[in-house]
Amino acid sequence: MRLLQRAHEPLADAEALVCARGVPLRQLQAAGSPRYVVRAAVNLTARRAPLPAYQGKGRKPVRGARVRPLPRTYKGRTIDATPPDRPDTWQLRLGPTSLTLHAAFWDDWVCAEARPGAPTFSTVLLHEPRFDAPLLLNTSLPLTGAHLQAFYRDRWPVEGLPLTATQMVGAARQCVFAPESRQRLPALALLAGAMLM
């Protein structure tokens, strides 16, 4: 939690925190991150922020309708995906070739366990013809599909140093327990990864 709070403090107004799938959305929201783009799990289930209309019988609803961007299979039964609120299409130039990318947007969602008044987010499903699986992103920003795709692509240069350190240097297999060693090992691993790159 403290790491996420410190990560968004130095961000300028035109910057956003971009996170991998391992960062839970509810932790980002609890840390008070105002601008974020985070990869979502393919089995994401959320709720609509507005409450459904009261039908006149039973208890009044306290949570929005359950929604999901991708279909799921549960006990041999397929649960349909929620239709998107809006689509987006754009062209991506890669040298001499041009790709058509598609995105589907769902707006005003809250986490599945959230109560009314919780922070809302948008979910975006990006389809790129070069990849079999779509990319699912959650964001608090009102961006187009092209902007979100560019935001998430900017994350990849940062991944090189830790990946090099863990795979080529072998830092993933090292176990240290002393407080000073727990600080030194990641720093040395990143330094070695930077030298190798």
Do 190 and 99 fall within a single domain?
A: no
Pair 150, 164 in one domain = no
pLDDT at 123: 94
pLDDT of residue 1: 65
Q: What residues contact residue 56 under an 8 Å CB cut-off, 6+ apart? A: none
Q: Which pLDDT score is estimated for 159?
A: 67
Phi, psi at 160, each rounded to 5°: -65, -45
Regarding whether 146 and 114 lie in a shared domain, the answer is yes
- Domain hosting residue 91, numbered range: 2-154
Number of independent structural domains in the chain: 2
Q: What is the pTM of this model?
A: 0.78
- The CA distance from 46 to 16, in Å, is 22
Do 66 and 129 fall within a single domain?
yes
Query: What single-letter amino acid sits at 186?
Result: P
Q: Are residues 117 and 48 in the same domain?
A: yes
SS (HEC) of 27-73: HHHHCCCCCEEEECCCCCCEEECCCCCCCCCCCCCCCCCEECCCCEE
Do residue 135 and residue 167 come from a single domain?
A: no
Q: Are residues 55 and 144 in the same domain?
A: yes
Rounded mean pLDDT for each run of 10 residues along the chain, 197 residues in total:
75 82 86 87 90 86 90 89 93 86 93 86 89 89 88 72 73 74 78 77
Sign of the torsion angle spanned by Cα atoms 143, 145, 148, 154: negative
